[in-house]
Amino acid sequence: MKLRGTMRVNSRGHLEIGGIEAADLAGRFGTPLYVLDEELFRQNCRDYHRAFVEKYGAEVIYAGKTLITLAVCRLVEEEGLGLDVVSGGEIYTALKARFPMHRVYFHGNNKSPEEIKMALEAGVGRFMADNLQEIEILNRLAGDMKVRASVTIRLTPGIEAHTHEYVKTGQIDSKFGLAIQTGQAEEGIRLALRLENISLRGLHCHIGSQIFDLDSYAHAVDAMMDFAGRMKRKTGWQPEEINLGGGLGIYYAKGDSPPPVDRYAEVVMSRLKAKSAEHGMTIPRLMVEPGRSISGPAGSTIYTVGTVKEIPGVRKYVAVDGGMSDNPRHALYQARYEAMLANKASLPPGEIVSVAGKCCESGDMLIRDIALPPVEPGDLLVVSCTGAYNYTMSMNYNRLPRPAMVLVRDGQADLILKRENYEDLIRNDTIPDRLKKSKVVSIASPSKTGLSHSVSCLLYS
């Protein structure tokens, strides 16, 4: 496993993150445990800040869908980035974290009127309008509140991003955005310009995620700016800002070779300048919305190995105490990950195993075919690069409580997300009167380590 950020193997042959042994973290907080390396998260924010904000006066907007908690919002604000949100829940999180709302960008292909009102009241900086209907609803609701909504229109530029089918978004046949080729993008611009409670600020596109090929971004800029040039000639309006979305890929496993962030900035900025000159436009302000490339490498997950099963001549399954419930990405996208045994970090790999989760689903795998030192029950397996789209896509399948998350830095570990317990799992369950009965039952409650110990408890209905 490639070591990231503050990860290191200490003289005892144990893996440390943020100056703390993974075994210590597991002992204190239990497993599965999400670990966020504060220094690396901040470093990734700073790389973007330097490459885009300091060099080109661009705006960097962190995509909260990859990883959002109150503490994460605080880090993002301290590092001077904006925040991309996609739901009332994410807006609520930003509000509770007291994130400056004028730096919040509200996305979504089906924003409800309640969410739109909430966003207007909160004073979000931009509505990233996805379709014609949304522009009209927004105009009406803004009018009711006697405010003007700042809007950027999301376009589908028809760009081929070389990435997984499920995370491609720039093509015409997409649920997101208004397609340039069909004329709907132009219709959106004309509509927004006509409506009195809408202030049209710019154009947006997001061509996909886990992208390594910077040419895809260059083509996206070309398509956006050629469209902007046509709009200028036809309507006189020109965008103040061009938002290119997120998508920069990261290293998960061998074969992944992400380009450096400053190169990404150079490529898109030089296209933006060239195209602005070609169309006789002032250079619009560049905006990007990175998510994975900031949070992804900064997160890792510690699991405890449970059962180890060898099917002779076929495969050795190592089962851990989490799985698709805390990281569904292999099940969904065949995503690849690297891992190591934190307590045997300096032992050479001795066998090829596959890491399975504990959910009742054959597809509940985390890693297929990985070389590890001899694995035994009780070992601590650390999967790297789980900072993005893990916690935010986690679930309670099989009523597994979701893991805790700790923020580590300089030998200090702070809990930023509590582990769910069994009580949390039934918190929203209700029993209709006709099904109620009075009885005494015994339930089990999860211990800190994730292993269960049984406690007797009286439940009266």
* 245 binding ligand LLP? (CB under 6 A): yes
Closest C-alpha to 358, from 377, 345, 341, 371: 377
Q: How many chain residues bind ligand LLP (CB under 6 A)?
A: 22
Burial 209-219 (b: 16+ CB within 10 A, else e): bbbbebebbbb
Q: Tokens 């991309």 belong to which residue?
A: 84
- Residue 372 is encoded by which pair of tokens? 């590890």
Minimum CB–partner distance for residue 74 and ligand LLP (Å):
20
- The nearer residue to ligand LLP, 157 or 246, going by C-beta atoms, is 246
CA separation (Å) from 253 to 4, 14, 368? 12, 21, 12
Q: d(Cα 373, Cα 447) in Å, to the nearest integer?
A: 28
Q: How far is the CB of 180 from ligand LLP (least distance, A)?
A: 16
Rounded least distance, CB 415 to ligand LLP, Å: 25
Residue 360: active-site member: yes
Which residue in 167, 253, 274, 283 binds ligand LLP (CB under 6 A)? 167
- Position 126 contacts ligand LLP (CB under 6 A): no
Residue closer to ligand LLP (CB basis): 31 or 66: 66
Q: Indicate whether 325 belongs to the interface with ligand LLP (CB under 6 A).
A: no
In this structure, the strands spanning 8-9 and 15-17 are: antiparallel
Tell me which of 205, 359, 360, 457 is the catalytic residue: 360
- The residue among 30 and 249 lying less far from ligand LLP, judged by its C-beta, is 249
Closest CA to 281 of 220, 225, 243: 225
Q: Give whichever of 71 and 167 is closer to ligand LLP, judged by the CB atom.
A: 167
Instruction: Give 317 or 333: the residue with its C-beta nearer to ligand LLP.
Output: 333
DSSP reduced 3-state for 274: helix
When asked if residue 64 is in the footprint of ligand LLP (CB under 6 A), the reply is no
* Residue from 30, 170, 202, 291 in contact with ligand LLP (CB under 6 A): 291
Biggest distance spanned by C-alpha atoms of the chain: 78
Long-range contacts of 69-75 (CB under 8 A, 24+ apart): 69/93, 69/391, 69/405, 69/416, 69/417, 70/96, 70/97, 70/416, 71/97, 71/407, 71/414, 71/416, 72/36, 72/41, 72/295, 72/416, 73/97, 73/99, 75/38, 75/41, 75/42, 75/45
Which residues 6+ apart lie within 8 Å of 307 measured at CB?
317, 319, 377
What is the distance in angstroms between the CA of the first residue and the CA of the last residue of the chain? 51
Site string for ligand LLP, 185-224 (x = CB under 6 A): ---------------------x--xx--------------
Closer of 206 and 336 to ligand LLP (Cβ): 206
Q: For residue 446, list its beta bridge partners.
A: 452
Helix (H, G, I), strand (E, B) or coil at 382: strand
Does 329 engage in binding with ligand LLP (CB under 6 A)?
yes
289 near ligand LLP, rule: CB under 6 A: yes
> By CB under 6 A, is residue 246 in contact with ligand LLP?
yes
**Residue 410 C-beta: closest distance to ligand LLP, Å:** 27
Q: Is 46 exposed, middle or buried (0-12, 13-18, 19+ CB in 10 A)?
A: middle
Q: Is 137 in the site for ligand LLP (CB under 6 A)?
A: no
150 or 209: CB nearest ligand LLP: 209
Q: Tabulate helix, strand, coil % of the chain (nearest 5).
A: 35, 25, 40
**Binding of ligand LLP at residue 300 (CB under 6 A)?**
no
Residues 81-120 that bind ligand LLP (CB under 6 A): 84, 107
Binding residue for ligand LLP, selected from 63, 101, 178, 180, defined by CB under 6 A: 63
- Which region, judged by CB under 6 A, interacts with ligand LLP, from 213-221, 286-294, 406-414, 448-456? 286-294
Residue from 292, 330, 358, 419 in contact with ligand LLP (CB under 6 A): 292
Q: Which residues are catalytic?
A: 360
Residues that bind ligand LLP in the complex, under the rule CB under 6 A: 63, 65-66, 84, 107, 167, 206, 209-210, 245-248, 289-293, 329, 333, 388-389
